[in-house]
């Protein structure tokens, strides 16, 4: 399928009172995919969303919608709808009138509005709730009304501004499934903003990890989880063990005083790097069989696994997720495979990172 | 919640009984007495039978309506404008400030301004239009009454507008509404409770204004308020005065019913 670009950011900079919030950002959003902007509060993700929706203009740079510049087009003339964090449902209107709000503005015939609202309610599994007042609905139901109100306008792009943050864990998971299936079914592009990495990993086709007004890394959830570009991403996405290391040569790395074979390459000989090993990739074993020998500090039962915190002789902390138990105070061995070691260079740009991965994975 | 000691409630009940319930019962009671203290329905017969009182009632309602309408037309945009200002609380305070000054003082100030020798007539003379009779006209009565009532209308509307969640306005725009559509589809309905409270606070007192009718209206405008004053202080016909009072209380309830919040 030909890739169709819906939104383009061209060197977009946004400043508030000379304080840069977005520092020269460029990216493309393709049609029909589920995107997530992921980052801590203040990283600029909501600013990007507001600029796409039309509530904010870039200080410099261009925003294109299907190739046309839309910097100055007001929000009410864009084919974009938003699901707000606090839902922003109109308290003076019932469920039907809330959802019909956009359609009535378009002067759509009454019959057609009724049909569309019924369909939208079906989509979010709220059939029969037309006459309910907003105040009579629970948080999860309001959330679904907000989604229906946005989707009923058939936007080309749906923006979701941390819409699940006010829901409890179970509802949240339910909504993740609902959103993902709605997106697949309707084929509308979704841009989802969140600070919750689990949400991002579960739903997205593509994740943009942001920090301090920059896009640090973009890619599929699997790519970002398995090949984080730097310490920040590795730490932000999932849990990780990060230690200082030296890249002796391609496919040989030294950390905790020992040398290990790995599958990374493309660095200078003896370059200082960092190494990430995910907690679930560390396997408990006896001290004599382990690649690392550590002392167990604590163990927590997490349901699916035990979370075991260990210290090696150099004082590095190692976090292990295992279905096996370990007794605090005892010495154990940790083993891992060469492909579990992921090497990260300091200050590597995304282009260089991608190019390097390309060169040695051939 | 901890249960309140019933003793704490006594002063409030006492207050209600002494200053709300008892006076209302007294007024209703007096309205059935004639000038010699005999029980009668005569007062009500006079009230509804003679054109004089019905005309007066109509006048009162009509002027109160004009005053309320004018107050609303001035206050709504003003309250809306105030919510947009940076130092809105300070500006609101300035709007409220005149209510701290005694009504009589304000009325006398207007006598000075509107009088034949007042500043407005000086200005008119300067323009060559010559002095005009401004004081003791319907016009001056309505202007002064409106001026006095404006703060009582602005405050509830301002509060209602302030309570509107700004994200609703963003959502409205997001769904395709122009600023004008957002105003009449979101802002106006959501501030309606403030408007209703404002109407209650302005319309009912306007029905029985008497100080201003006398000082500014020059007794040309006779409202129910003036009539009550007349009956109690001049003709000493307390029965008739109370009857008019009862009519005002009923009118008040009607207004409250019409503008009350609908509970669902």
Question: Which of helix, strand or coil describes residue A253?
Answer: strand
Between chains, do B176 and A53 touch, taking CB under 8 Å as contact?
no
What is the mean predicted confidence (pLDDT) over B88-94? Answer: 92
Write the residue in A76, A91, A149 that is nearest to B177 by C-beta. Answer: A76
CB contact (8 A) between residue B174 and residue A86: no
DSSP code string of B145-179: HHHHHHHHHHHHHHHHHHHS-HHHHHHHHHTT--H
**In the prediction, which pLDDT does A1 show?**
52
CA nearest to A137, candidates A104, A175, A93? A93
Nearest CA in chain A to B173: A76
- Which residues 208-247 in chain A show a CB within 8 A of chain B? none
Helices B192-207 and B138-163, interaxial angle, to 10°? 150
Q: What is the pLDDT of residues A243-257, one digit of tens each?
A: 999 999 888 999 988
Q: Please give the domain boundaries of chain B with CATH numbers for all domains.
A: 27-32+39-259 (1.10.3720.10)
Which of A110, A111, A186 shows the shortest CA–CA distance to A152? A186
Find the residue in B nearest to A52 (Cα).
B174
- B176 and chain A: CB distance < 8 Å anywhere? yes
Question: Could you report the predicted ipTM of this complex, rounded to two decimals?
Answer: 0.83
Mean pLDDT value across residues B153-170: 95
Buried b (16+ CB within 10 A) or exposed e, B124-163: eeeeeeeeeebbbbeebbbbbbbbbbbbbbbbbbbbbbee
pLDDT band (50, 70, 90) for residue B263: very low
Q: Is B175 on the interface with A (CB under 8 A)?
A: yes
Tell me: pLDDT of A107 over 90: yes
Tokens of A45: 């993700």
pLDDT digits (tens, 9 = 90+) for A283-335: 999 988 889 999 999 999 988 899 999 999 888 999 999 998 888 999 999 99
What confidence category does residue A349 fall into, taking pLDDT thresholds of 50, 70 and 90?
A: confident
The A5-16 sheet, strands edge to edge: A19-30, A5-16, A60-65, A68-69
pLDDT tens readout for residues A110-149: 999 999 999 999 999 999 999 999 999 998 899 999 999 9
Look at residue A281 and tell me whether its pLDDT is greater than 90.
yes
Alpha carbon A39 to chain centroid, angstroms = 7
Which residues between 68 and 107 in chain B have a beta carbon less than 8 angstroms from any beta carbon of chain A? none
pLDDT in tens, B202-240: 998 888 887 787 778 777 777 888 888 888 888 888 898
What pLDDT is attached to residue A18? 85
For B185, the closest chain A residue by CA position comes to A101
pLDDT in tens, B118-145: 888 888 888 888 788 888 888 888 999 9
Interface test with chain B among A51, A56, A77, A84, by most B beta carbons within 10 Å? A84
């Amino acid at each position: 399928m030909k890739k169709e670009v819906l939104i383009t950011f061209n060197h977009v900079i946004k400043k508030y009172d000379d304080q840069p919030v977005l520092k020269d950002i460029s990216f493309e959003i393709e049609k029909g995919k589920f995107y997530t902007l992921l980052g801590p509060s203040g990283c600029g993700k909501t600013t990007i969303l507001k600029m796409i929706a039309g509530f904010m203009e870039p200080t410099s740079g261009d925003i294109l919608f299907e190739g046309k510049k839309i910097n100055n087009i007001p929000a009410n003339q864009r084919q974009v709808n938003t699901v707000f964090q606090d839902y922003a449902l109109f308290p003076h209107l019932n469920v039907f009138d809330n959802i019909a709000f956009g359609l009535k503005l378009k002067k759509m015939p009454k019959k057609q509005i009724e049909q569309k609202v019924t369909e939208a309610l079906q989509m979010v599994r709220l059939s029969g709730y037309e006459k309910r007042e907003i105040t009579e609905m629970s948080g999860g139901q309001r959330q679904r009304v907000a989604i229906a109100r946005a989707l009923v306008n058939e936007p080309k792009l749906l923006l979701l501004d941390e819409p699940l943050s006010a829901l409890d864990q179970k509802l949240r998971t339910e909504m993740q499934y609902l959103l993902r299936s709605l997106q697949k079914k309707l084929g509308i592009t979704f841009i989802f903003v969140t600070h919750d990495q689990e949400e991002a990993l579960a739903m997205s086709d593509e994740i943009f990890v942001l920090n301090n007004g920059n896009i640090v890394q973009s890619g599929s959830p699997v790519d970002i989880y398995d090949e984080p570009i730097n310490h920040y991403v590795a730490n932000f996405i999932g849990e990780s063990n990060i230690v200082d290391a030296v890249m002796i040569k391609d496919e040989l790395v030294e950390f905790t005083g020992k040398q290990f074979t790995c599958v990374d390459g493309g660095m200078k000989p003896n370059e200082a790097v960092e190494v990430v090993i995910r907690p679930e990739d560390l396997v408990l074993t006896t001290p004599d069989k382990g690649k690392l020998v550590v002392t167990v500090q604590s163990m927590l039962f997490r349901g699916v696994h035990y979370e075991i915190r260990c210290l090696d002789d150099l004082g590095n902390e190692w976090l292990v997720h295992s279905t096996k138990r370990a007794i605090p105070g005892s010495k154990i061995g940790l083993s891992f495979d060469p492909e579990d070691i992921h090497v990260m260079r300091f200050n590597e740009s995304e282009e260089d990172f991608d190019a390097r991965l390309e060169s040695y994975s051939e | 919640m901890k249960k309140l000691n019933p003793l704490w409630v006594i002063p409030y009940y006492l207050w209600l009984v002494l200053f709300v319930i008892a006076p209302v019962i007294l007024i209703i009671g007096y309205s059935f007495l004639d000038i010699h203290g005999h029980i009668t329905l005569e007062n009500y017969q006079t009230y509804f039978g003679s054109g004089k009182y019905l005309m007066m009632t109509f006048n009162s309602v009509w002027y109160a309506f004009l005053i309320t309408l004018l107050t609303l037309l001035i206050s709504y945009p003003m309250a809306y404008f105030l919510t947009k200002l940076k130092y809105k609380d300070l500006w609101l305070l300035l709007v409220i400030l005149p209510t701290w000054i005694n009504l009589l003082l304000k009325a006398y100030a207007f006598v000075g301004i509107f009088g034949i020798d007042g500043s407005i007539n000086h200005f008119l003379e300067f323009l060559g239009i010559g002095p005009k009779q401004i004081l003791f006209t319907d016009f001056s009565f309505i202007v002064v009454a409106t001026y006095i009532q404006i703060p009582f209308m602005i405050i509830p509307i301002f509060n209602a507008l302030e309570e509107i969640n700004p994200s609703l306005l963003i959502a409205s725009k997001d769904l395709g509404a122009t600023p004008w559509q957002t105003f009449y589809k979101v802002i106006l309905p959501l501030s309606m409770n403030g408007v209703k409270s404002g109407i209650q606070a302005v319309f009912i007192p306007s029905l029985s204004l008497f100080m201003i009718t006398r000082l500014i209206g020059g007794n040309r405008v006779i409202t129910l308020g003036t009539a009550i004053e007349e009956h109690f202080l001049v003709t000493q016909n307390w029965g008739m005065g109370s009857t008019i009072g009862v009519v005002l209380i009923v009118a008040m309830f009607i207004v409250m019913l019409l503008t009350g919040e609908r509970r669902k």
